[in-house]
C-alpha cells in the first residue's frame, strides 16, 4: 500500500522524496475517499436518513462516539490495508451523515446550485491552500495548539447552541469553522511537507476532515444568505 499512484513532479519537486511519496499518496487516497462519501450521501438522501431526528444532544453524542471509534481504529491500523478499509468505511459513514443537510438544501428552490457552489468553494479553498502549504518554506507547526483550541471552543459552542437554538450563533459557528478548517488544511499539508507526518492514511484522515468541515460550513452559510424558498 506504499504507493497508490505515481504523480508527475510539479509543485512537490523541491520536497524530499519520502515527503513527496506521503503527500502524493495522501492526495490519491483523499480523492478515492470521496467515492464512498458520495455513495453514503446518495444512500442517505434516498432513505431520508436522519440521525438527528430524535434528541439532538443524544444524536450528537452518538455521532461523536461512532466517529471517534472509526478514527481510533484507523489510527491503530494505519500501517496496514485494514486502515485504508476503515478509512473508506468512515468516509461512507460521513457521507451518510452529510445526507441530512443535503436533504434540507435540496428543499430550497436553488438547492442544487447551493450544493454546487459549496463544492466549488471548497475545491478552490483546498487547491489554493494546499498549493501554498506544499510550496512555502515556512513551517506552520506552531499553529497546531491554537487550531486545536479553536476546535474545542467550536464543539462547546455547538453543544451550547443545541439548547439555545440561536440562529446568529449558528452562523458565527459556521463562519469560524470555515476559517479554522481552512487553516487546518495549510497546517496538515505543511506537516507532511516538513516531515511531521509520515503516514499517508493518518494524513488523509486529517485532510479529509478539514475538507468535509469546510464544505458543510460553507453550505450552511450559503443556505442562510442565498437560499431561495419555494
154-181: average pLDDT:
94
Instruction: List CB contacts of 167: < 8 A, sequence separation 6 or more.
Output: 224
Please give the pLDDT value at position 10.
46
Q: If we measure between CA atoms, which residue out of 226, 12, 43, 13 comes closest to residue 121?
A: 226
CA distances from 152 to 95, 140, 155, 157, 191 (A): 23, 20, 5, 9, 21
Q: Which residues of 54-73 are buried (b: 16+ CB within 10 A; e: fewer)?
A: eeeeeebeeeeeeeeebbeb
Q: How far is Cα 84 from Cα 33, in angstroms, rounded to an integer?
A: 9
The region of weakest confidence among 4-8, 24-28, 183-187, 219-223 is 4-8
Q: How far is Cα 46 from Cα 208, in angstroms, rounded to an integer?
A: 24
Tell me: pLDDT of 56 over 60: yes
Instruction: List CB contacts of 208: < 8 A, sequence separation 6 or more.
Output: 30, 33, 87, 91, 94
pLDDT tens column, 77-106: 999 999 999 999 999 999 999 999 999 999
> Count of alpha carbons within 13 Å of 193, Cβ hemisphere only?
23
Q: What are phi and psi of 3, to 5 degrees?
A: -125, 105
Tell me: pLDDT of 218 over 60: yes
**Average pLDDT across the chain, whole number:** 91
Tell me: pLDDT of 4 over 70: no
Strands (DSSP E) along 31-170, which ranges? none
Tell me: pLDDT of 22 over 50: yes
What band does 30 get if pLDDT is binned at 50, 70 and 90? Answer: very high
Please give the pLDDT value at position 6.
46
DSSP 142: G
To which residue does cell 444568505 refer?
225
What band does 184 get if pLDDT is binned at 50, 70 and 90? Answer: very high
Please give the pLDDT value at position 13.
53
pLDDT tens column, 68-78: 999 999 999 99
Tell me: pLDDT of 222 over 80: yes
Handedness of CA 175, 181, 184, 185 (dihedral sign): negative
What band does 57 get if pLDDT is binned at 50, 70 and 90? Answer: confident
The region of weakest confidence among 1-5, 152-156, 220-224 is 1-5
Q: How far is Cα 83 from Cα 182, in angstroms, rounded to an integer?
A: 25
Kindly report the length of the chain. Answer: 230
pLDDT tens column, 132-151: 998 888 888 889 999 999 99
Amino acid at each position: 500500500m506504499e504507493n497508490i499512484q505515481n504523480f508527475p513532479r510539479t509543485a512537490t519537486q523541491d520536497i524530499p522524496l519520502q515527503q513527496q511519496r506521503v503527500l502524493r499518496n495522501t492526495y490519491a487516497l483523499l480523492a478515492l475517499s470521496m467515492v464512498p462519501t458520495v455513495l453514503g450521501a446518495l444512500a442517505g438522501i434516498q432513505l431520508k436518513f436522519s440521525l438527528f431526528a430524535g434528541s439532538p444532544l443524544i444524536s450528537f453524542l452518538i455521532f461523536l462516539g461512532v466517529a471517534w471509534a472509526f478514527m481510533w481504529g484507523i489510527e491503530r491500523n494505519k500501517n496496514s490495508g485494514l486502515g485504508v478499509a476503515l478509512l473508506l468505511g468512515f468516509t461512507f459513514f460521513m457521507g451518510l451523515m452529510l445526507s441530512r443537510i443535503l436533504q434540507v438544501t435540496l428543499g430550497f428552490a436553488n438547492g442544487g446550485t447551493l450544493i454546487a457552489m459549496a463544492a466549488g468553494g471548497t475545491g478552490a479553498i483546498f487547491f489554493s491552500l494546499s498549493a501554498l502549504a506544499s510550496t512555502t518554506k515556512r513551517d506552520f507547526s506552531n499553529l497546531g495548539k491554537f487550531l486545536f483550541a479553536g476546535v474545542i471552543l467550536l464543539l462547546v459552542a455547538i453543544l451550547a447552541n443545541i439548547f439555545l437554538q440561536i440562529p446568529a450563533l449558528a452562523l458565527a459557528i459556521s463562519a469560524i469553522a470555515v476559517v479554522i478548517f481552512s487553516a487546518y488544511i495549510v497546517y496538515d499539508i505543511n506537516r507532511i511537507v516538513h516531515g511531521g507526518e509520515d503516514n499517508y492514511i493518518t494524513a488523509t484522515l486529517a485532510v479529509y476532515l478539514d475538507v468535509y468541515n469546510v464544505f458543510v460550513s460553507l453550505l450552511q452559510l450559503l443556505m442562510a444568505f442565498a437560499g431561495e424558498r419555494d
